[in-house]
Amino acid sequence: MTDLATAGVAETARLISAGDVSARGVVEAALARIEERDRELNAFSRVLVDEAIAEAEARDAALTAGETPGPLHGVPLAIKEEIDVAGTVTTFGGDGNATPATADAEIVRRLRAAGAVIVGKTTMPEFGAYPFTESASRGVTRNPWDPARTPGGSSGGTAAAVSAGMVPAGMGGDGGGSIRIPSASCGLFGLKPQRGRVTTAPHPHLWWALGTAGPLTRTVRDSAVIYDVVRGNVEGDLYRAAGDASFVDAVDQAPGRLRIGWSTTPVTLGVRPDLAHVHAVEDTARLLTGLGHDVRQVDPHYPDPTAAFVPQFFAGIRSEAELVEHYDRLERRTRETCRLGSWVTPKVVEWALGQTEKVSIKANRVFQDVDVLLTPAIAHRPPPVGRLDGVGTVRAALRAMPSIAYAAIWNVAGNPAASVPCGLAPDGLPLAVQLVGRTDDEVTLFSLSAQIEAARPWPLLAPGAPPMSTR
2-470 has CATH 3.30.70.60 classification: no
pLDDT beyond 80 at 2: no
Boundaries of every domain in the chain? 2-470
List pLDDT tens digits, range 242-296: 999 999 999 999 999 999 999 999 998 899 999 999 999 999 999 999 999 999 9
pLDDT beyond 70 at 466: no
pLDDT beyond 80 at 467: no
pLDDT beyond 90 at 386: yes
pLDDT band of residue 460 (cuts 50, 70, 90) is confident
pLDDT band of residue 465 (cuts 50, 70, 90) is low
360 labelled catalytic: no
Q: What is the pLDDT of residue 315?
A: 95
List pLDDT tens digits, range 106-123: 999 999 999 999 999 999
**Active-site entry in 17, 154, 155, 163:** 154
Length of the chain: 471
Question: Mean pLDDT over residues 296-313, rounded?
Answer: 97
Q: What is the pLDDT of residue 6?
A: 66
Partners of 274 in beta bridges: none
**Active-site entry in 22, 80, 135, 263:** 80
Q: What is the pLDDT of residue 4?
A: 66
If you average pLDDT over every residue of the chain, what do you get? 95
pLDDT beyond 90 at 338: yes
**Active-site entry in 17, 155, 178, 403:** 178
17 labelled catalytic: no
Q: What is the pLDDT of residue 462?
A: 87
Q: Is the whole-model pTM more than 0.85? A: yes
pLDDT band of residue 469 (cuts 50, 70, 90) is very low
pLDDT band of residue 464 (cuts 50, 70, 90) is confident
pLDDT beyond 80 at 335: yes
80 labelled catalytic: yes
List pLDDT tens digits, range 394-431: 999 999 999 999 999 999 999 999 999 999 999 999 99
List pLDDT tens digits, range 202-249: 999 999 999 999 999 999 999 999 999 999 999 999 999 999 999 999
pLDDT beyond 50 at 468: no
